[in-house]
Amino acid sequence: MSELVTGEAVVLGLRTARLPSRALARLLDWAVYTVAYFILAVGLLMGLSDLEDAAQMALAVGVLVFCTVLLPTLVETLSQGRSLGKVALGLRVVRADGGPIRFRHALVRGLVGVIDFGLFAMPAVLSSLFSAEGRRLGDIFGGTMVIRERLPQGARDQGAVPPVPPQVMHALGADLVALDLSAVPDGLWLSARQVLGRMHELDKPVAAALGDRMAADMAQRTGWPVPAGLPSLVYLGAVLMERQRREWERASAAAYATYAAQLAQQQVQAPYGAVPAQAAAPAPAPVQTPQGQTPQGQTPPVRQLGYPQAPQPGPVALTKPAEPTEPTEPTGAAAGGGGFAPPA
């Protein structure tokens, strides 16, 4: 396993790939590139059958160089170190510092690969066996290495700093907040993380001795001695957690400041609750024809914005019903009777 450190003293635990997995990935890549070579060579020779034998031989050599050096270089450059065989085995080519490779790294690997995989791949096998990180000659000259990307959960958890109990952090809270951590170098942070992450793998006396030495160095640089009765490893873990808390606060403050600036800019451009001019002053409705619509000369009703309300019923007037009148008795001819009328 290779330990790398970034500029912020963040440890990257990289598990380098060993010879068996790398050899299997190389065989898969070799099979793919061989098939590509035969397809290209046969296609070009059939399409250019009129060429002379020397020209056809030169074309076949060019296709071989392309499929042996240039094609693997392009694949590793565009995929950032993931060829088909490496993707199948969960491997990846990275720089020696853990970053993604570029074209020059892939080109050096491809050119030196001609030597690595010549003579039955004996140069690559021997260099991988004698290298602590399993690097072949192409990796050594190109400044790269092959790591394992897919790891089991136990391997991913290995190397993590164990958390300090909450009650201990609560008891040491006032002293931790007042610490000045600016004088602690990155190398000491890295060493403390490595010891805490692997203290279960070390013998207890060895881990205690390393913890005492680093705790004394940490106390000298921070000005806060190890409290009486507190184990040195717990002391180192508390200081590391305080540093992580400060880093998290700084990152959170920067993110919140960016969000507040964006929100203020949006409010300046469009204040909250403001009604656009088009909605506040709607354009007058055009004069319509008198076919059951707005008559000429009348102002159309203004549409009110907001949640519609149900119409309120008006007051109901209660009136006394009119009493029926008695009919009057008709007289004379109006009544239609048969009385005697004297002659004139």
Q: Tell me what the mean pLDDT of segment 164-183 comes to.
A: 83
Residue 78: is its pLDDT beyond 60? yes
For the question of whether the overall pTM of this predicted structure is more than 0.75, the answer is no
Which residues are CB-neighbours of 175 under 8 A, at least 6 positions away? Answer: 224, 227
Q: What is the per-residue pLDDT across 217-262, written as a single tens digit (0 to 9) for each?
A: 988 988 888 888 888 888 888 888 888 888 888 888 888 888 888 8
Residue 320: is its pLDDT beyond 60? no
Instruction: Give the integer Cα–Cα distance in Å for 170 and 166.
Output: 6
Tokens read off for 173: 């809270």
Q: Tell me what the mean pLDDT of segment 102-127 comes to.
A: 90
Instruction: Give the integer Cα–Cα distance in Å for 128 and 137.
Output: 8
Characterize the bridge pairing of strands 144-148 and 11-14.
Answer: unpaired
Q: Tell me what the mean pLDDT of segment 60-84 comes to.
A: 91
Q: What is the per-residue pLDDT across 174-207, written as a single tens digit (0 to 9) for each?
A: 888 888 888 888 888 888 887 887 777 677 787 8
Helix (H, G, I), strand (E, B) or coil at 225: coil
